[in-house]
Amino acid sequence: MSPAGVVGAVTAMHDAVILANWLSTLRLPIERDLERVFKEYRSERYSVAKANFEPSQLFIRNLGKVKSTKERDHAQHNVCDFFKRWIPSF
């Protein structure tokens, strides 16, 4: 995810909490248990990461189309408003 897409850090923090929660269910981490935990973690977080990645990429592509420096600066400082303009469902 692009840093300009706004959701990368929040997604990373959520990922860390979810993974820590899954790892805390292990008493003695053995290989098969770790594999199970990582599969559970992936199944829980993959769709969220994918949903956050696509708008982030769209934002970056559209930011590159902005010709005016003033509009680009405004977009970078007001990301949510910019997203609403480029992504109607946001």
Q: Are 1 and 53 in contact (CB under 8 A)?
A: yes
Q: Are 70 and 41 in contact (CB under 8 A)?
A: no
Q: Are 45 and 18 in contact (CB under 8 A)?
A: yes
pLDDT at 38: 93
Q: Are 14 and 55 in contact (CB under 8 A)?
A: no
pLDDT at 11: 81
**Tens digits of per-residue pLDDT, 51-75?**
878 777 777 776 666 666 676 666 6
Percent of the chain with pLDDT over 90: 18
pLDDT at 89: 47
Spatial separation of the C-alpha atoms in residues 72 and 79, rounded to whole Å: 10
